[in-house]
Structure 1
Amino acid sequence: MKKLVSFVIPCYRSEATLPGVIKEIKEKMDRMEEYDYEVILVNDCSPDETFDTIKRLCRENKNMTGIDLARNFGQHSALMAGFHHTKGDIVVCLDDDGQTPADEVDRLLEGIKKGADVVYAQYSNKHHSGFRNWGSHVNEVMTRIMLGKPKDLYISSYFAAKRFVVDEMMRYENAFPYVIGLVLRTTKNIINVEVNHRERQAGASGYTLGKLLGLWFNGFTAFSVKPLRIATASGAVFAVAGFLYGIYTIIKKIFINPPGLVTGFSALMAMIVFIGGMLMLMVGLTGEYVGRTYISMNNSPQYVIREITGAESDEKQAGDN
């Protein structure tokens, strides 16, 4: 019996690149006789004609479903929306810009066949911009420190996961999903396979510094309390440093500086400004946790679907009739 593979592709400004990605998936999967496949395309409120392209592709391919989100929720929320509409035994996630090679999906599926729960693509040579590579490096360090990611595990947007992993991820219903954190808390049976990485076919990356910062905050405040522990430890260090500095000031005043001489004003002000800034940073971090808890308690949605087209829409209409 054939296994069903579900491809989930979050889409943003990809009207020019998406048809090529779908063609590549189709050509590859048609040669892999042991698998059937479906494709879930999630338009993250792209301002161009991406959803029109998705609707056309769904008309041309009966095993595709298009989902149009009501506003821009971000890549990870778009992935979660796609997960809830998959039926496959294996779920494969990849980008819409053609940089992740869909024709090498067999390498990921082979890793799953050998027993891994999740298989991430690893690139020997990446063709991202310098800014994107810097963001990936920072994300690599932070996930290792905050989420306990193994040092030798490479995380990318191109990965395959077994059904039970995706089902567990879908149990997370809060407003700030972070797919990497969900994977790491579900299983440790994760491997890498080497694949190629291509030049971007068209357009530019949708990731900005603001989006990267927002993504990091999502992961580290939703899946780790280490930032709070770091803030507590930093407070203890500064308290001890302040106490020792106070003793040093008294000794210096009595035994070194003559009476009546006012010294150290600049150093004192610098210390006050620095410690004040650290305190504000820690208060802000605590507020971030509290605010996200408040938003989650108010049932803020991960995503809102405006429209569904393609295979799932046709099945629903057939059921209604």
Structure 2
Amino acid sequence: MELLHPWRLDFQQPAPLRSTPVVSLVLPCFNEQEVLPETTRRLVALLARLEAEGVAAPGSAIYYVDDGSSDATWRLVADYAATLPAVCGIKLSRNRGHQNALLCGLMTAPGDVLVSLDADLQDDVEAIPKMLAAWRDGNEIVYAVRSRRDADGFLKRVTAEGYYRLLACLGVQVLFNHADFRLMSRRAIESLRAYEETHLFLRGLVPQLGYRTAVVEFARAARFAGTSKYPLRKMLALAWQGITSFTAYPLRLITGVGALVSLASLLMSAWALGIRLFTDHAMPGWASVVIPMYLLGGIQLLSLGVIGEYLAKVYESTKKRPRFHVEAVVGQAFGAEGA
């Protein structure tokens, strides 16, 4: 299975003319007090430049989504919103995870064009003008894809790239080396609103929308300040989420493994019977009993675990619980002064 290949920027095709859009930058935040001042400075300057160049319309703004931070993140966001017209804040009632916080921002922020990116400045903000140029060419979704991963360690780079290839082999439509740095038009956002996924994996869900897309490449930088909020445990959880949310391949794999084990058991039985009937080398021992027992027991437990994971997803989906609750909003776009 090949990776999803959307329209490239160098593919020239007539596109409809579009007016200057109101641009909303959506940034999920979790304990980002160290990097937030620099992020705000760069993004405010970027929006001012885009408005001066006529690329973005007045009213374009930054929307920070505080995902239940335990540090001073929300206080900083509220202070910026009170003094900077281009900054708004959305506070979740508790930590709901990066994907839910990002979805909250996308579903809440106004604007003709929404750009989602991380707050740690690893996503190159200078790629945003290129993404807007691709939108003006008629693309509804523009993916920002890493051209290289020099800022990542060897292990993270190898495992991440291997994971993208694994998803593609399993039939999941993903862009290689794309995370959540993307532009979406209002039309695409409203289409995404119709999806009521309980277990979110947006980098696999957005390609399901099917609109015309483009790709912009950027060099991912090292984190400006603070520490990563995605340790190995969360990365593995997100990886498993992507697999189990978009493919039933693990369930089919269980069927294949079961068939192979059954075939191997029949062959071993035939071999043991042949030794017993036609030779004098049959030697009773514990290995012939214990090894197959542990092998089959392990496969059965693994199979039950995979099946249980899918059943748990069905169970949680049927409850239809809200994916997030907004506790407070600040900023002129919401008509709120603080919270």
8 A contact 1:174–1:300 mirrored in 2: no
8 A contact 2:275–2:281 mirrored in 1: no
1:141 lines up with 2:138 in the alignment: no
For residues 9-88 of structure 1, the aligned pairs below 5 Å read 9-32=27-50, 33-36=54-57, 37-88=60-111
For residues 236-315 of structure 1, the aligned pairs below 5 Å read 236-258=259-281, 261-263=283-285, 265-266=286-287, 268-314=289-335
| Counterpart AA for 1:66 | G
2: distance between equivalents of 1:188 and 1:267?
58
Cα deviation digits, residues 116-141 of structure 1 (max 9, x gap): 33222222332134454345224313
Shift of 1:188: 6.7
Cα deviation digits, residues 59-98 of structure 1 (max 9, x gap): 1222432111122211111111001112222221111111
| Counterpart AA for 2:173 | K
For residues 191-230 of structure 1, the aligned pairs below 5 Å read 191-230=214-253
Shift of 1:100: 0.9
1:172 lines up with 2:195 in the alignment: yes
Partner of 2:179, secondary structure, is coil
Cα deviation digits, residues 114-169 of structure 1 (max 9, x gap): 3333222222332134454345224313321334336x743223111222222222
2: distance between equivalents of 1:206 and 1:29?
26
Cα deviation digits, residues 213-266 of structure 1 (max 9, x gap): 22123222222222222222222222222222222222233234435x214x32
Partner of 1:182, secondary structure, is helix
1: distance between equivalents of 2:78 and 2:153?
31
1:5 lines up with 2:27 in the alignment: no
Shift of 1:108: 1.8
Unaligned runs of 5+ in 2: 1-18
8 A contact 2:77–2:89 mirrored in 1: yes
Shift of 1:34: 2.4
For residues 97-112 of structure 1, the aligned pairs below 5 Å read 97-112=120-135
8 A contact 2:35–2:119 mirrored in 1: yes
* Change in CA separation of 1:226 and 1:311 when aligned onto 2, cut-off 3 Å: farther
1:234 lines up with 2:252 in the alignment: no
8 A contact 2:172–2:204 mirrored in 1: no
TM-score (norm 1): 0.88
2: distance between equivalents of 1:316 and 1:223?
41
Which moves more between the two structures, 11-20 or 55-64? 55-64
| Counterpart AA for 2:262 | A
Percentage identity across paired residues of the two chains? 24
For residues 123-162 of structure 1, the aligned pairs below 5 Å read 123-126=146-149, 127-130=151-154, 132-149=156-173, 153-162=176-185
Shift of 1:277: 1.3
Partner of 1:214, secondary structure, is helix
TM-score (norm 2): 0.84
1: distance between equivalents of 2:94 and 2:155?
26
Unaligned runs of 5+ in 1: none
2: distance between equivalents of 1:103 and 1:25?
10
| Counterpart AA for 1:13 | N
Partner of 2:335, secondary structure, is helix
Partner of 2:139 in structure 1? 116
